[in-house]
Structure 1
Amino acid sequence: MGLRHQALKGGFIMLIRQGLGILLSLVGVILITRVIGPTEYGLFGASSGIVIFFYRLAPSGLDAYLLRKKTNPEQHEYNQVFTLLLCINIICVVGLVLGRQMIAQLLRLPEVAPLVGILALTIPLSTLNLPWVVKLERDLNYQRIAYIELLSQISYYLVAVPLALHGYGAWSPVLGLFTQQACQLSLNYFSSKLRLRLSWNPDLIRTMLEYGLSYASSIWIWELRTLVNPVIVGRFAGAEAVAFVALCIRLVEMLSFAKTVTWRLAMVALPKLGDDKTRIRKSIQEGMRLQVLAVGLPMAGFSLVAPVVLTLVFGKNWYPVLQVLPFIAVSYLSHAIFNLHRSVLYLECKNLLVTWFHLVHIAIFAGSAFLLVPRLGMIGYGWAEICALASYFILHLYTVREVGSLNYTEPLVWYMISVAVLIFSAFSGSVRYLSCLLLLLPLTSTKERNSLVGYFKILKS
């Protein structure tokens, strides 16, 4: 099986798993948010936003070291990564537990202090999974990954939903998340032949950290995005505004699950292309097209029914989410197009270029939010997302310099149509629903129809 065929096949398996996960998440999120209400969900969103930032710092690029290695990692390398992750996790957990009161004071939300303390314990449960997940991804065993992730997600709702119904408020998703991460760690351990133990090799540690930290430093800057909602929106607009933005982000992330799948596939598949610039360039162009299809169409479709869904399913208290939905959806769709650009720059060891892009993006995004949220409320967060789109031009220039000129024609067609539907979704009446016809326009092209049929054949094979 060719690399392209194998990567697409694995990607489709992950997409199906993510699609099932979305249905499950939607039911669970509906029950939890409707029962505990905006204020309690806002407390969870603020505390989890802080902890997620540290969770994403913890791997320190060690997963990238294992994934990007041109030869298969040896047992002692997995052991060393496991040991380093354990040490880093201890530092993160202790720091969060001791600093939880300071964090609560910074956010002006004293209720988040105990939530942060418990959520900190999910960090080691999450990151210690990485050696097992990397092993499965290097083997392109996405079927087993999908199975484990789906079972773990089910465990979250089996705990969170009953607790919410029994009045545990913000604690219900907190304890559900703890259960999910513990379940995933257990399943990875018992379903894998990889057995890890402690190891300490100074030379290997130096090699891993030299690569990992150069990669991770750019990721750490990007993850500052997760702090904008709890810190800026929470401080200037309150817990309910945090809840509305957090729910909107959660919905958009569920709808843009293909972005994560593509990133994970690219981390494994792109290094196997070597220095073939032509194949890399073609992979980026096809990836952009697939990203827009898999991210733009679900978001555009959801935006048309969002008023009905939010009112009837989540409750009238959550209707303000509609104010920021189009802004955040456009932001995530734009990021999806440039997802592979970053992967290629990492492949070419141009980590510093990615870091510069992240710095510019965060400066525009956080700076705009700091100026706009105090004046416009949570809608200022949405406009800050739009302002930050200008930074992607820098990423485009860096990528073109490395692999040559890129053709955006095909993905741009689907992108513009998806954005148009998102804009029309803000209107009322027939204009909103007739805009869905725009999604059918590209299918008038024989080339587009043949491409979609080709992807379907790969899925069936």
Structure 2
Amino acid sequence: MSTDIAQQSVVAAKWGVISSSLKFAMQLAVNVAIARLLGPDAFGLFALASIGLLVATFLSEVGLGWSLMQRPALDDEVIRFVFTWQSISGLLGFALMSGAAYWMADLLRDPRLVEVMRWLGLCCLLNGLAATATNLLRRELRFRDLAKVQLLSYALAYGLVGLPLAALGYGVWALVWAWVTQALLGLLLAYRARPHALRPKWSTTAPGEFVNIGFTVLITNLCNWALTNLDRLILGRVLGTQAAGYYAVGYNLATVPNGLLISGLQPAFLASGARLQDEPERLARGYLEVQYLIWVVLAPLFALLAFVGADVIAVLYGEAWMQSTPVFMLLALAMPAYLAWALSTPVLWNTGRKHWESLLQLPILLIAGPVLYWAAGQSISLVAAVAAASFAVRAIIVMGAVWIALGLRSTEVVSLGARSSTVGLLVVGTAMLLGAAATAFDWAPWLSGSAKGLAGLAAWLLLIWAFPRLLGQPSIKLLLRFLPVQWTWTQNWRKRATSGHS
């Protein structure tokens, strides 16, 4: 049973990573193209409207869909009950977006938000209708099918609607109709992949269990939303849509890889972890492997991104968007903490501590609010610095709680930090050396940035290939489960990585 779960989890995680990688490539291309076509004002207007959409989406989903992943067993009665109330809450989310449109427009001092938010409200209804099928796919660890749904809906929505409308001069409405189209296609494709009963059912056995889980998810999501979006909301009110547009580009470029990794890995970790609630030692080993992967393998890449941040913005978006550079650099440095936090929270849920996530983060929210408001009066760079610091504090607090809950040794923290720092310094140091050479020879900016990035990436790959034991055994064990065993180079790497270890 445990072996089956482990194998299913690895397959699910692989498809999560594949889906995330492909979607990142598509989103990067689309975001760059649309940002160049629309400019900071329209891009910022949509970014502010989408903040309200996230709140309404949380309220429309109510967290009932997540209860499907937590229950040991399901039947059609339960699925019908969840679908019925998810649909009703989706309709309420649509009504909320319509009703709150004037309030958001007044708060952010931009009347254009009214119509944009009203039409975006359709996404709440469509997402509410799709939530049951989507979460059933997650529960069953069918991440290959889920990847197809997400990739196809995104590609069609932006390829056929978003980009053509942006090129034709429709401004913010190109993004609005792309989002609505993606939500509609996501509903149809998810239901096609995982059909379920549609007949309404208003009650079920032990409804309090669903209400309890749903309410906890709702409160947790709202708390997470506030900590993740308060910076943009305050910035929009204080400095307007143009500043919000510059901030949104830097923010999105830094967080999109993380968001996709989280959407691919967190549900797999939550669903598989729910089946390992009675095996705390295996859950602890799995958690430690994930954290080593984040801090030792991935964190150096985010540090490299931050180092070449100005070159990335200049090459992708052009000189008109250079005000986004400090935002991107600061938040890229904070992304490992964001990822570590997000992949720690499922452990709290799977160890009977589902209320801890929101309770631990409320003090951070209370402090971050006034500090962000002060920072917005200074510059968007200072807002990004405060947001990055809040990500780091969240990770430290939540990871500390998980570390204690799982009984992990404090020495692992020292090992994790030492290995992460060593790999990061070697990767960024290599890029810095080539950057100094580029300055001496007066290379073109695009050539200098590309050379620094490729040098750092080459150093990262060389370290993993030639010195695998530097990564630590938890990282090695996780990577070995993902690498194809039939390849000769994988077998050679395995021998070097595991020599001297059982």
What TM-score, normalized by structure 1, do the two folds share? 0.91
Report deviation, 1:418: 7.4
Select 2:469's aligned residue among 419, 423, 447.
Answer: 447
Matches within 5 A, 1:356-371: 356-371=359-374
CA contact (8 A) 1:365 1:387 kept: no
**Alignment root-mean-square deviation, CA:** 2.8
Report deviation, 1:156: 2.1
Number of equivalenced pairs:
459
In structure 1, the partner of 2:95 is: 94
Select 1:267's aligned residue among 256, 267, 270.
Answer: 270
Select 1:412's aligned residue among 413, 417, 435.
Answer: 417
- The CA distance in 2 between the partners of 1:413 and 1:123, in whole Å, is 44
Matches within 5 A, 1:11-410: 11-71=13-73, 73-158=74-159, 159-201=161-203, 203-256=205-258, 257-292=260-295, 295-296=298-299, 298-303=301-306, 305-375=308-378, 377-388=379-390, 389-406=392-409, 407-408=412-413
Report deviation, 1:114: 0.8
CA contact (8 A) 1:46 1:230 kept: yes
Structure 1: stretches of 5+ with no match in the other structure:
none
Amino acid at match of 2:94: V
SS in 2 for 1:262: helix
CA contact (8 A) 2:79 2:197 kept: no
- The CA distance in 2 between the partners of 1:57 and 1:88, in whole Å, is 7
Amino acid at match of 1:447: R
Report deviation, 1:424: 10
SS in 2 for 1:408: helix
Amino acid at match of 2:106: Q
- The CA distance in 1 between the partners of 2:28 and 2:277, in whole Å, is 40
Q: 1:292 to 1:366 in 2, by over 3 A?
A: same
Higher relative contact order (CA 8 A, sep 6+): 1
Report deviation, 1:186: 0.9
Report deviation, 1:48: 0.9
Q: 1:23 to 1:214 in 2, by over 3 A?
A: closer
CA contact (8 A) 1:326 1:422 kept: no
Amino acid at match of 2:56: F
- Say which is worse superposed, 132-141 or 39-48, in terms of deviation: 132-141
- Say which is worse superposed, 430-439 or 230-239, in terms of deviation: 430-439
What TM-score, normalized by structure 2, do the two folds share? 0.84
Question: Percent sequence identity over matched residues?
Answer: 19
SS in 1 for 2:202: coil
CA contact (8 A) 1:57 1:216 kept: yes
- The CA distance in 1 between the partners of 2:316 and 2:170, in whole Å, is 21
Q: 1:153 to 1:292 in 2, by over 3 A?
A: farther
Report deviation, 1:53: 2.2
- The CA distance in 2 between the partners of 1:269 and 1:139, in whole Å, is 10
Amino acid at match of 1:132: A
Report deviation, 1:458: 6.4
- Say which is worse superposed, 118-127 or 407-416, in terms of deviation: 407-416
- Say which is worse superposed, 226-235 or 167-176, in terms of deviation: 226-235
CA contact (8 A) 2:16 2:265 kept: no
SS in 2 for 1:224: helix
- The CA distance in 1 between the partners of 2:41 and 2:430, in whole Å, is 30
- The CA distance in 2 between the partners of 1:186 and 1:435, in whole Å, is 43
SS in 2 for 1:392: helix
SS in 1 for 2:483: helix
